[in-house]
Amino acid sequence: MRFKSVTEILFLKYLHQQTDAEENKRIFKLLANKRFRSRFRKLIAQQLQQNHSQEGRDLEVLQRIYKSLDLTEHARLSRMQYLWLRSSKKWSLAAVALLALALSFSFFIWKAKDNADSFQAVDIGPASKKARLEIADGQIVMLDKNQEGVINVQEGVRLCHDTAGQLYYLHDQKDRAPAVPQRITIPKGGNYQLTLADGTKVWLNAGSSMEFPSYFDGNERVVKLSGEAYFEVTKFAGGRRPFIVETTGQRVIVLGTRFNVKAYADEKESVTTLLSGSVQIATAGETVALKPGQQAQVSQEGVRVSEVDPLIATDWANGDFVFMEESLPSILRKLERWYDIKVVYRSAPSAQTYIAQIGREQHLEDVLNALQRAHHFKYQLAGNVLYIH
């Protein structure tokens, strides 16, 4: 009789959805080691041999994962992290195991060569730090990562920019001049980070804009958002002064917390995800309180709350695209904003969904090639227009 090692038992528990959070962390660390990846691959091979009665689709998923764990001899090193389509039913977690693999170490993929279905007209790179700041007096400041130091002085407020491409406001508490309205706009193909006068940090995604004052002087700290932003809100030293994010159809009310709000005009719903602290989502019809790890989706049908992994909702702020069972149209809307392109459908897109993690620093062609390997589709890139056939 052969006794299973502790590591082998751990891997088998993971494949059968029996591990807890601490065991999952241990597995992720183990998979960063080539020797343990090889052992995991052998276990999957054994499962393939023992499960001939599984449905064809389930076996196909296991076979793909089995092959993926030995790609290093045949592939070039890349910062891109890539996964295949998720299967349903019993072996769905096996695909998630591969996601864990991608999240724990730099993964390898084949670069598509001689792709007869795509034609690259231009090399489109990722978004860069750029923004347009409008001040109520009519002044416009174009922001980019090359600026440094004090770039604007308002009454009692200095507007500064550092070498990391971050904008921040310094407020002199002794000067009680009225706050000045501001509006920052992030174009498609851009992203930006700023620190408000109260110390709240805001990361703004491509295609977003936010209105805010030069400093907060009322009983509430209110900003208006269109698009997507991640907030780390500072508790106000003077006492209970809530921070409020207003979007179309909702108000997100907080005191001090970390959360993400996505409210693009081209999306059917507004999504708020809470990482820590507590928030309230107020709409015309109801008010809902969120706990850490919960997400509120606001649409015409009302508010729906669900348990989620908040790190997936804030993938963009951490420099990644993370797709969890996401449709191709949903993915392409994100690529439109990040790469400043226009997507045109020449035929109806596939209903297949994707599980993938891809670094946002990748060029558009590399992202499209990775998606194509998950599920084949034809595309043509002409200038900044992407045609889906």
Per-residue pLDDT of the chain (389 residues; tens, 9 = 90+): 344 556 667 776 766 666 776 776 677 666 656 666 677 777 766 665 665 544 444 455 445 455 444 433 333 223 333 333 333 333 344 444 444 444 333 333 333 333 434 444 567 889 998 999 998 778 888 888 766 677 776 666 777 877 666 787 776 665 557 788 999 999 999 999 999 988 899 999 999 999 999 888 888 999 999 999 999 998 876 557 899 999 998 999 997 799 999 999 999 999 999 999 999 999 988 999 999 999 999 998 899 999 988 888 998 998 888 888 889 999 999 999 999 999 999 988 888 888 777 889 889 998 998 888 777 788 999 989 999 98
What is residue 76's predicted lDDT score, i.e. its pLDDT? 29
Residue 367, burial from CB neighbour count under 10 angstroms (0-12, 13-18, 19+): buried
What 3-state DSSP class applies to 229?
Answer: strand
What is residue 3's predicted lDDT score, i.e. its pLDDT? 44
Considering only CA atoms, give the Rg of the chain: 24
* Among candidate residues 277, 271, 276, the one with its CA nearest the CA of residue 316: 271
Options 3.55.50.30, 3.20.20.70, 3.40.920.10, 1.20.120.80; which CATH number does 319-388 get?
3.55.50.30
Q: Which CATH class is domain 128-313?
A: mainly beta
How far apart (Å, rounded) are the C-alpha atoms in residues 68 and 64?
Answer: 6
What is residue 351's predicted lDDT score, i.e. its pLDDT? 82
What is residue 230's predicted lDDT score, i.e. its pLDDT? 97
Q: Which helix (H) or strand (E) holds 161?
A: strand 157-161
What is residue 215's predicted lDDT score, i.e. its pLDDT? 86
Give me the residue spans of the domains in the chain. Answer: 6-109, 128-313, 319-388
DSSP-derived secondary structure letter, 273: E
Query: Does the pTM exceed 0.75?
Result: no
Contact 47, 16 (CB under 8 A): no
- Number of neighbours of residue 309 by Cβ within 10 angstroms: 13
What is residue 238's predicted lDDT score, i.e. its pLDDT? 57
